[in-house]
Chains A and B, each alone.
Chain A
């Protein structure tokens, strides 16, 4: 029936003619389509551009054709392998150390990379000045992360001390191939010449060091096949290989996850645009109802009546989608710019036609589906309406076709979510979440409105009653506007609440009495001197924790090598190969509690097997439980142990926590170093102490929690800013829905104001009515969105971040106030000018 109507010439002619008059509500709602399509094009183009950039810049992701890495110094066997592989080779040794800047007196834990050779072979170290790289390769200077130079109030040519050695700062590092800028926030990098390490005693027992060698081969070398061939040897020698294809795969996966998030986020904007379209089309068709009734009188069928209007919507939507796509192509540079700190490549924007097609398709499909909601009931328009308004009211929700459309919309959301997330249950959660948020926003807002309508009138003056009643005027767009405002508020409250919850979680760790300084790599012969230094600064030491490094040699009487060679055993490689840093003590730490087994704090020397306590996660990874045996190797001495207890550890607490804890009586005479935990009451005391430590004990690393907190704040800010940028698409669409509603109801408002003025109402009273209407609208929607946002934050904190949910009222109140004021201002501005003209003039202008 509807398809037949589509092929009737007069239907198309009628649709075009009808568009000459009263198109404003439709055009305004198309603002939403333009923004939504723009968002989709930007998000999909981002994915295509980043993937294309990754492909083009693939080699610069690694900077070489092949990288081999070990946690131990390369052996003779390793060197023989490297010689056999040939190619141009570069070396890098990376480790953490304190960097001290004498000019400012500041110090910071940094990631030192001692390099030799021409690495990177692809891409380049971007520095300021650009010539700094060459100076670095030829001289004995250092290259330092730009952020670190800023933090330490340093400049080019200043000195930096690492260990016993002082370097001149040759330049600031801006970009390292394959590494996003955010790395520099977490672990700033300092590049130094390899020769420095040979002279420095920095690499001591306990230092966590990564040894890397980079290879550049001839163009025809099949690196993946090569790695495949030498894989058994690499495994035997404990070497990890990284190739361009592996790096590409890892980065592509990460970028695909980011892209998925973006696509899901802009889809919310698309759905909101659909609501805006439905609302605008509803107003438009209400205006057209008399004409439609006349058409029915003169012989148009029900399906033809619907098609005349549907075609108008589709024509306008096509135009809006094309405009949105053009905008999206123009603005696609913005997204990579907003996310540049998180991207490992420089995303080069280019027109991604797939993004344009997807945007156009989504715009048209969304407008079509949502516009059917107000259009489908048009088939029931009685021609009798040409004579008079109907006596009988028809409940639109009883229309089965409407329910079919709702189901189609839900199905489309689900389908999109499944395709995007590539997992049906993720798609289900997303769909359920979206429908719940949308449904709750509209349902709760409507419920509150009904309550206010019922109970408020008696309490309100005429103008406020009139304002409230305006929410229910015929052809109102109250539901759509409430959804738009509520969704925007919900998003902002959720984002800010989660951000502040995460920050509070960290800040609590630095509350009164909590330790704020941790020293690592304190050697046995330095303990006393370190203690005296702390004492001289008046900073009490809270704890001195011994650390013994060891490797796992057997699990349940099977050697680690045997386990690694057994394809049936699913124990992660990192857990088998890692160097364990264990401690020994008689008591449980404050961040621990026993989940299973019995804590053994002390054993007699020589007792075997040694009862040890394992952290819950590592026990699961190693697939061991109470009573199972583990064999550790401490510098050639074998230690047979038995799992006596399983612990739960609060890893987020700032104190040394361990996978494996031995009882006292076993490791006291083993080679060991110490972690020292302390609290400095003032920032000045902490800075002075750190300076003194770096000067006297250059091998000791200091973690300052204040710095960690600042870094976390900085990272969270960047992440939040990026998330807010993406949420901006939804917010802009919400603003478009609001603007559309305000402007399309303007003519009705003009008529009302003229009538009121004719009846003697002063201007002030009419303005108060408008303010009251938008105030009610905003408050109801904002309160609903805020409450839902708080619940969502709580849910995210409890289930996802597993942290305590704390709500900061101040930012929430600011958001509430800002959105409310913004809505009221939008409503008043939208009615601007209705008083300036005479009643007749205004009526004629609005006709």
Chain B
């Protein structure tokens, strides 16, 4: 069974202005990601991993090249269009959780659905939090949750709008080994049930192994890609 390409990156280059200089973070990166696949991006510190997923997720515009997500050219979209795509089709998990401190766990999960204008956000958020094992922590604020619990809330938030693709930037980076395992398990469980494509930046070997396809970056260049052929999620 074959899947369609959900994300296509073509000759992506990204540089930043720092004072008078241009800092090239990504240089001529090209790859494609298929639907329902899982892909890990690895590389040493400063190789451009976070910038790559930021551009792919529409958080940043490329300096050169193209990023086409689900048929939409992100590199040419307006801010409003990018916001809509991020809300409706993309989920994001951060290394440092990035929960809104003044909202409870339940409210944090509800926000993307509320932005979309959904009426049943509360019940669906409750269900998701139950799935990640936080049914007793719905009304706690982030400061009252442990790191693992916060990441689970972030996970639930990332999935509430049934995204087509989930980007995770070192989702286990700030967690102990035990908790990290739980989070990895949850990520792939949710991925399996919802069919979301996964793109993960990670140093975690367990996560890399489970993803299957690995994109290696070094000095802003794609130096290795073991997934140039399609690998269906059911084959992992």
Residues in A lying within 8 Å of B, measured CB to CB: 1, 8-10, 13-14, 17-22, 290-291, 293-302, 304, 382-384, 386-388, 391-392, 847
Contact = CB atoms under 8 A, between A and B. Distances in A.
A298 B79 contact: no
B94 to A, nearest CB: 6
B92 A298 contact: yes
B16 A301 contact: no
Nearest to B121: A10
A18 B102 contact: yes
A423 to B, nearest CB: 46
A300 B115 contact: yes
B87 interface: yes
Interface of B: 16-18, 23, 50, 54, 57, 59-60, 79-80, 83-84, 86-88, 92, 94, 98-103, 107, 111-112, 114-117, 143, 157, 161, 169
Given A22-B102, A295-B100, A386-B98, A301 B80 contact: yes
Residue among B84, B101, B107, B117 facing the most chain A CB atoms (10 A cut-off): B101
Contact of A300 (B83, B143, B169): B83
B59 A10 contact: no
21 contacts: A10-B114, A14-B114, A17-B102, A20-B102, A21-B101, A22-B102, A291-B100, A295-B111, A296-B86, A297-B92, A298-B87, A298-B92, A299-B86, A299-B88, A299-B116, A299-B161, A300-B83, A302-B83, A386-B59, A387-B94, A392-B18
A383 B86 contact: yes
B102 A21 contact: yes
B83 A299 contact: yes
Contacts of A301: 79-80, 83-84
A21 B111 CA distance: 17
4 shortest interchain CB distances as A-B pairs: A299-B87, A21-B102, A391-B16, A10-B114
Contact of A298 (B16, B60, B102, B111): B111
A391 B19 CA distance: 9
A297 B100 contact: no
A387 B54 contact: yes
B86 A387 contact: no
Given A17-B103, A387-B50, A10 B115 contact: yes
Contacts of B88: 299
A301 B94 CA distance: 20
B101 A299 contact: no
Given A17-B103, A17-B107, A391-B18, A382 B59 contact: yes
A294 B98 CA distance: 7
Instruction: Among A13, A14, A297, find the residue whose CB has the most chain B CB atoms closer than 10 A.
Output: A297
A686 to B, nearest CB: 76
Contacts of A847: 143
Nearest to A10: B114
A771 to B, nearest CB: 33
Given A21-B102, A847-B143, A296 B83 contact: yes
B75 to A, nearest CB: 15
B13 to A, nearest CB: 15
A294 B91 CA distance: 12
Nearest to A392: B17
Q: Which of A18, A21, A392 has the most CB of B within 10 A?
A: A21
A384 B52 CA distance: 11
Contact of B86 (A1, A290, A297): A297
Contacts of A298: 86-87, 92, 111-112, 115, 157
A14 to B, nearest CB: 7
B108 to A, nearest CB: 9
Contacts of A383: 59, 86
Contacts of B59: 297, 382-384, 386-387
B107 to A, nearest CB: 6
Contact of B101 (A10, A14, A291, A302): A291
B36 to A, nearest CB: 22
B44 to A, nearest CB: 17
B11 to A, nearest CB: 21
Nearest to A383: B59
A780 B23 CA distance: 39
A21 B104 CA distance: 11
A286 to B, nearest CB: 15
B23 A294 contact: no
A510 to B, nearest CB: 67
A301 B116 CA distance: 11
Nearest to B92: A297
A847 B115 CA distance: 28
B79 A302 contact: yes
Contacts of B112: 298-299
A19 to B, nearest CB: 7
Contact of B23 (A14, A17, A295, A391): A391
Contacts of B60: 382, 384
